[in-house]
A and B are shown apart, each in its own frame.
Chain A
Amino acid sequence: MRRDLRGALLLLLTAAVQSSSMSAPGKPVLLSCRSPEKETFTCWWEPGSDGGLPTTHHLYYERERLEGTYECPDYLSAGRNSCFFDKNHTSIWVDYYLTVMASNALGNATSDPFKMDVMEIVKPDAPENVTLRVEEREASPCLHVRWMPPSNTDTKSGWVTIKYELRVKKDNSNNWKEYTSGTQTHFSLYSVSPGGVYTVQVRCLLDHGEWSEWSNTTFVKISNYLQNERPLSMLISILSAILFIMAGLILIAKRKSVKQWVLPPVPGPKIRGINSQLLQSGGSDDVGNVLIIKQSFPPIYFVWEDQMEDYLIVTENEDWLSSNSQKRKKSLIPACFHFDSEIHSKESPCHKNDWEKDEEISQVDNNNKPFTNTGYVDFQRHVENVDVKHVDYSRVKEVKSDNILFLEKEKVQSSGYIHFQRQEGIPEDYSRVKEVESDNLVVLQKQNAADLSCKDEGNHYTDCALHKPRKPHVCTELSDSGYVDTIPAPPLM
């Protein structure tokens, strides 16, 4: 009896001791849920203390648009403390309210409700089958990466849209370089150098959910093939060096022509009629010939034919200066001309000689005589530009005696006029008009017979004061239709 009582008391004591560590289970906590492909999902919880007793957990859920409370369909597929919802039990765009209840012999404990929508918990698996392929190109190698989408995703119907990302690391460094691949399942890397070990990882994203984990690392070693290429590059560099040297030698050999081509000579100023070479090399005689127009007739003639020059009258007579304008524009009129035809000064052969004559005269006579001492410095002028309009001509109708001219009443324009020789050393062939009686009668001053070195024989005109003999064809005859230059300016007297 006492032994029974002691045994009972001991049992009661042990029971009492034991029962102090036993309790109802602690409150479990729902951790997270995840859907890898938008078709199924799994939820995990963490159990609280089990209270020392075997505790069971149950997951219950309610769903939007679905009446009633349901229990988890699958506790096993996803491992411990998890609940797997298969395709039949998964709906999207509806809210799930989940609770986990832990129960043991002593009681229950219910977790807080967990609200979720499948749309919000999408996180795919990592991409599979990542392969690397090295393409060895001449300049630099490149790396081609290929992979497959996670096997449980449906890529055929358009239900999911997967985007990819990859990262690359060289050798053992910790610097990953990330690249975005979009929806392509391949990618090419060009910034790889030979002689290194490259590690590549890929991950993916479904719709706008969470990124997956990185795939398993894949390694590839790019061989250092550059050594093989060295002889070729050396050969190329040697050849190009030889070419450069040859080009340089050719340039040096032809440096003069190169210099001419690169820096063409600048043309210097040219003075017409002056040959700079001649100036440099020739004697003073030649220089004088060039500057003084004494002998070089042909050139000047040609010059005269081309250019247009104004005449500048140089005179020492102040009276004449004051009464006349300094400049008179006259054309160079040949002493000889054809009366019965139009004067074509250019075509007339007389031109040449007359020009000669005038020049000579201007050179020879330097005596100072009033009015008569007019030397002309003739600037060439185009014959057509002669102010013929300003000069009115009157045609000589009749020459009565040796000093009376009858002019025709009509005025005739002409570009020619006669030069009369004067015996007083006057270089120009002018007759002084003594008197103008009517509008068609001109009385010329009689010349001094003593000084007359040439005489006016009626209608003939003879050339007197020339030093050089004149050529016969140069002289022509003055016919009745002679011209007298009547200058509307102040009278010649």
Chain B
Amino acid sequence: MADDKDVLRDVWFGRIPTCFTLNQDEVTEREAEAYYLLLPRVSYLTLVTDKVKKHFLKVMRAEDVEEMWFEYEGTPLKWHYPIGVLFDLHASNSVLPWSITVHFKNFPDRDLLHCPSSSVIEAHFMSSIKEADALKHKSQVVNDMQKKDHKQLWMGLQNDKFDQFWAMNRKLMEYPTEEGGFRYIPFRIYQAMTGNDRPFIQKLFRPVSPEGNAYTLGDLLKEMYPAAITNDGEQKRYQVVIHGIEPLLETPLQWLSEHLSHPDNFLHICVVPTPSD
């Protein structure tokens, strides 16, 4: 059961100081000033940047404005990935604030999904929760919830209401005591290196061994991405980052799933190269 409330609050209230700058090629009527904002790690870009849009629209004509999208050092940022994941993956070892470039033209269809309204974000968020519960509980818990309970999860995220969200989410973090954990752990492992053959690793993985031993983060990585683990005597090549920190590899996976999952109920793990100082 998720009873370590302090960790849950720290995860929920994690923020990334960000500086939004308008792309130089956008047509403006006067100079656009940068806009500074603290972004919630656990939310989504298109959900929390209305103010950014309003700010830049002040210096632009309506006909020059199409769907807003964001880019960091040439990489379009996928709004449907949690903000904290985008930061850890692309900018975790760079100087703060995180410098994001704002675009209103030339939407990169090949790289980004469109986000015409917040209901698209809600649908995506709820689908992630349902997918996670399919893995954790064969969808039994999420299906037993009423529509208003689902709505409460979304409203909690949208309005940054920790208590409202967790009043419902705690049900998704329960499991039969005799099982020792969820059926499978919902996780995604992202690799920061370019030229990947896949955007992330997601496979079936149980939190408890057949003998009843708790699997750890290290066990998961050994199975899914052994290159991320440093062997004895080797120099550390990679950092394994969750919510901006490097949890000990001995941490039980079940505990991580209950406490360090995002509101979408997935454990998002970023493997990034260790910075060379």
A and B are interacting partners: no
Task: Please report A residues at the B interface, Cβ cutoff 8 Å.
Answer: none
Task: Please report B residues at the A interface, Cβ cutoff 8 Å.
Answer: none
